[in-house]
Structure 1
Amino acid sequence: MLALTILFDGIIYASWLFIVALGLTLIFGVLKILNIAHGSFYAVGAYVTASFVSWSVGAGMSPAWSLLFMLLAALAVSLLLAPLVERVLLRSFYGRDEVLLVLVTYALFLILEDVTKLIWGAVPYYVTEPYMLFGVLDIGLMSYVGYDFILIGFAVVCGLGVWWGLNRTRTGKIVLAVIHSNEIAASMGINVSRVCTLAFMFGIFLASLAGALTSPMISVQPGLASGVIIVSFAVVIIGGLGSIEGAAIGAVIVGLARALAVHTWPAAELFSIYIAMAIVLMFRPEGLFHRIQARKI
């Protein structure tokens, strides 16, 4: 029974983490940027969702509307904030040293942390109404909130949707061409700058969507971004940078490692993630799904 509990808890934790890591690996694949600020967009998505849901509940609207507001919050962050960041800040650093880009995104992380405090303050937000919409499911002797399984479904849809979009559509082929080589793609008439902007927006949409989906499950408060970026980087390092399959397997490994620690040795919850990462990197230093040929996702 303990093993089944660890399995379910690990998969539930891995589901939202996979959505965050999927956006992170997409941005790395196209823009060649390790986006330290990725967790900040997750936090902004959670805060915007908390604001929208709190407003809808205060206005007497049905809690079911909060599901729509989650999607609208993620769209708002990706459509309003992401293009501004990419065009005004990041675009001028393309092609520069990768360490410089890491420092730029770290500075953005610090800025967004302070901005969220200025806008929403330091008081935690709790929006539990969407979490109880789907009731409770009994699996044997265990009970799980139905919303957790909706979250798993969202993760599966996001993963399959991104894979299908990249490998089965014309737009995806264009993105893969940019991933393979900016110069060759540009010589073929592809607007590389537009592809980079759209890829960044979609990656940020995934991060903010994960924040929106998890906001009913957690306390939305300052410091949320730093914890997310640590575990999401662990996922993409385990799976291999730029790999959808790697992000999925890495999220499951991290989720199961954390669940095992929570149920057997709670003090080692965060440490267990580093142990799992170290074990994988001992045998596969480039990650589980690293490809020697041209980078692709």
Structure 2
Amino acid sequence: MDEANPAGFVVILVHNQAVPLPSNPAERLATIFQRILASDRNNPTKHVIASILETSGDVSLARSLSYVFALPDKIVDALRSLELEEDDLQWHLGWLPPAQRALTDLWQFNAAIHNVQQHFSPTDLVNLESANRLLRREKFERRIEEAQLDSLGEKVRELHDALVAAADIPDDLKLFMLDQLDQIARALREFRIRGPEALTEALDSVVGAIYRVSSSRPGAVTPETRTWFQKLRTVVADLALVVGLGAAVLQLPANFHSAVNELSPATQVQSQVESTPSPPDPISDPAQPPIESPAS
């Protein structure tokens, strides 16, 4: 366990770089290779990569590297989705073979970073940048501004610290909420490698966990824990808005909303997302088509 972080919680990193956030997988990989090529050729590979990926500890580094290794395939899939002529596609993939060789040598942690640099030249980087420009022009991903991530990260950190110091919430519920905040914090940290996918995955996981707890423990929301559930729900709503799924948080289980709202004065329910009409429920709304059972 990290001595600087004895509780084992994810540390939220706030980025102050002037460059905009990458908006597609090609830009993410190009950013990584830019920093690799700019590194002192004699530096150990592990030191260089850990610095680029902003990781601490072998587990975190291995996790982040697994997402880096997945980037070439994501770029290929993204370019193929544009339905380019085969010649154009192959031209935009000229960087792929050297990138694959370079990424393979990233596992040689104790070797000098020169072993990686020798496989990927500035010309290869230019070719990768051409794929980036194409995907950026096609708006392959919805752009998320860094200010949005910083704001969400600050809210997660504030609630995390408040929960750690709180004495009015059972330990099991406190740990549950901290786990959800840790997932969001990790997604923020990994955004530069994974993009919106990391945030969407965290949103799905957190909403699912809330559904499980609210379904299996209907008495979890009490007058004492009400405020904490409201704060957690607000963070989840903010995450949904950043992802661009503002209504997604409304799909939290009805018993969670009703339990919190029943215990809450109307004047305290001020969430922006709560004011949005709920999506139609195909079970209770006859105008919606019935849900078909998957084929057995």
Tell me which interval the TM-score lies in, with the shorter structure as reference length: under 0.3
Q: TM-score, normalised by structure 1?
A: 0.23
Larger radius of gyration: 2
